[in-house]
Amino acid sequence: MVPAFSIQLLNFLAALLLLIAFAMLSQRRILSLIYLFAWQGAVLALSTTVVAYSTGQDHLYYSAALTLILKALLLPWILHRLIIRLNIKWDVETMINVPTTMLVGIGLVIIAFNLAAPISQLAGTITRNALGFAMASVLLSFLMMITRHKAVAQVVGFLAMENGLFFAATSATYGMPMVVELGIALDVLVGTVIFGIFFFRIRETFDSLDIKHLEKLKED
Amino acid sequence: MTSSIFSQLFQTLLVVLLAPLLLGWVNQCRAWLQNKSGAGVLQPYRVLHKLFHKDAVLAENASSLFRTAPYVQFACMVLVASIVPMVATDLPFAAAADVIALVGLFALARLFAALAGMDVGTAFGSMGARREMLVASLAEPALLMILFTPSLIAQSTSLTTIVEVLAHHRFVLYPSLAFAAVAFAMVALAENARIPIDNPATHLELTMIHEAMILEYSARHLALIEWASAIKLANYSAVGIALFLPWGIAAAGDWQAIPFALAALLLKLLLGGAALALLETLSAKMRIFRAPEFLGTAFLLAVLGMLARLLLER
């Protein structure tokens, strides 16, 4: 049985999201990381539009527009300005080397696909196949947060994780209620601004954005 | 039967004769992107013509292997050219070799190139050969994994069947093919000695891979090797088109579709060549020790494509 074209397109976009998540995982430069994050936001907005169009859920158009403005344009712009003002464009250090990280990533993808399979069987939505991809990108962003030393890369990982969660919500239940979505969008925006302030504070205190210095704050 | 033999001959000759043109087009695009005027798209033909009219010089201690290697490489590439459908799927020869044999043919050509590079015993030849084998040992498993994804979709490892299924059955977007396509682009760059891995224009000894192996060759031997690598580029483009952009390739026995298929092929190759030139201009050559990471990523993406196929597209 061949599913309808919109579902194929949605699965394809889901695969694209996962590809971007992998690219972020293997990316060493912080500027490219932010560009990839912007692309992820754009793909997310497109996929939300496709879901909105194929299911006739009008409120999803608004959330697609919100995603495009916030996640593909505004947040990358804020982050971009931040790293230019912090003057950190060079390589991101990773805790484990990149090939090992990618291998762990493949393992996570297998876990996510298997985990999503029984849920997709139960779900009645047309978009249920994309759930595995969504969970995989959430786990990959999580892995990225764990394996990076620098605060900026961790924040990008956090925002990417939010993207994955948003995609999971869209694909599992056709999106959250508008109020919740607006709330989360505002949270993410404010969060990024606060993270920006934190970056400056961390650097002022330790002369570096490497968060392993934060361990010094522990009381003995 | 005669018509399919004609179709076979036509396609093989088309690839073999037009391969230098594709290379010339890529070089021309690259020159334009670098604000140079370029040598023209016909330059590879001029080079081949010049090389074929020179007297060959062989090193004193070169064995017969050194002399036969260019012919083996050229023959392998022509053979590959005759099993990859470019214009029509009507290829009687394609039954002789499937995608796995295709990888084997590429490997055979590479093996002879590496052996010939070591044969004369110069330092650069052996160094180039070793580097080539390093890249190959990583690129080959990735290429096999990539080819398995479309094979799983088509339930066949024959390239003509894969193209029939992908191009002429109902149009379906396969997410797994997206992963495979990205991985294929990475492997194709590495295997054709293009920029992130190797620089085809360099003659700086320390960075050469492919060029270092063929330093000792001259005249007709060099011409055959250069021609073979041009055909290799065309072959990789043909495989990429057949697997990921097969729309337009004519079905067997459909003679009316041939002119359209030719036009589509030309357009795809023009765009593909321009994209390759753009990619090469935008990226910088990697350190050789980064190559395993690059190709490891390609392998993992190919595995991911297969996983997506096996777990999600049932």
Cα→Cα distances A39→A18, A75, A100, A193, Å: 12, 12, 25, 20
Which chain A residues touch B307 with a CB distance below 8 Å? Answer: 106, 109-110, 113
And the tokens for A161?
Answer: 């994780």
Distance from CA of A143 to the nearest CA of B (A): 16
CB contact under 8 A, A110 and B307: yes
Which residue did the predictor score with more confidence, A172 or B113? B113
Write the pLDDT tens digit of every residue in A64-81.
888 888 888 888 898 888
Look at residue B244 in the predicted model and tell me its pLDDT: 86
Q: Tell me how far apart the alpha carbons of residues A63 and A56 are, in angstroms, rounded to a whole number.
A: 14
Of B170, B175, B297, the CB nearest to A15: B175
And the tokens for B2?
Answer: 């005669």
Residue B282 near chain A (CB below 8 Å): no
Residue B46 belongs to domain spanning: 2-312
Helix residue ranges per DSSP H, B34-63: 43-52
Cα→Cα distances B298→A13, A110, B65, B113, B130, Å: 20, 17, 33, 24, 21
Give the number of residues written for chain B: 314
Nearest-CA residue of chain B relative to A98?
B293
Instruction: Count CB pairs under 8 A between chains A and B.
Output: 63
- pLDDT > 60? residue A1: no
Residue B120 near chain A (CB below 8 Å): no
Write the pLDDT tens digit of every residue in A2-47.
567 777 888 888 888 888 998 888 887 888 888 999 999 999 999 8
pLDDT band at A89 (very low <50, low <70, confident <90, very high): low
CA A186 to chain centre: 16
Q: Tell me how far apart the alpha carbons of residues B168 and A111 are, in angstroms, rounded to a whole number.
A: 35
Residue B282, exposed/middle/buried by CB under 10 A (0-12, 13-18, 19+)?
Answer: exposed
Number of domains making up chain B: 1
Task: Tell me what ipTM this predicted complex has.
Answer: 0.73
Distance from CA of A3 to the nearest CA of B (A): 9
Q: Tell me how far apart the alpha carbons of residues B13 and B26 are, in angstroms, rounded to a whole number.
A: 20
Look at residue A92 in the predicted model and tell me its pLDDT: 64
Q: Tell me how far apart the alpha carbons of residues B215 and B213 are, in angstroms, rounded to a whole number.
A: 6
- pLDDT > 70? residue A127: no
Mark B228-252 as b/e (b = at least 16 C-beta within 10 Å): bbbbbbbbbbbbbbbbbbbebbbeb
Inter-residue contact A153 to A30 (CB < 8 Å): yes
Distance from CA of B70 to the nearest CA of A (A): 36
Q: Tell me how far apart the alpha carbons of residues B264 and B270 are, in angstroms, rounded to a whole number.
A: 10
Look at residue A122 in the predicted model and tell me its pLDDT: 75
Write the pLDDT tens digit of every residue in B65-78.
888 889 999 999 99
pLDDT band at A180 (very low <50, low <70, confident <90, very high): confident
Q: Tell me how far apart the alpha carbons of residues A140 and A104 are, in angstroms, rounded to a whole number.
A: 9
**Which residues in chain B come in under a pLDDT of 70?**
1, 202-203, 205, 252-253, 312-314
CB contact under 8 A, A2 and B170: yes
For residue B275, count other CB atoms closer than 10 A to its CB: 13
Number of domains making up chain A: 1
pLDDT, chain A, mean: 82
**Angle, vertex CA B81, rays to CA B135 and CA B68, nearest 5:** 65
Q: Tell me how far apart the alpha carbons of residues B132 and B109 are, in angstroms, rounded to a whole number.
A: 12
Residue A114 near chain B (CB below 8 Å): yes
Q: Tell me how far apart the alpha carbons of residues A37 and B314 are, in angstroms, rounded to a whole number.
A: 30
Write the pLDDT tens digit of every residue in B87-121.
777 777 777 778 888 899 899 999 998 888 888 88
Q: Who contacts B27 (Cβ-Cβ below 8 Å, separation ≥6)?
A: B38, B39, B43, B44, B277
Q: Tell me how far apart the alpha carbons of residues B175 and A7 are, in angstroms, rounded to a whole number.
A: 11
Of B171, B297, B304, the CB nearest to A109: B304
Residue A55 belongs to domain spanning: 5-217
Residue A122 near chain B (CB below 8 Å): no
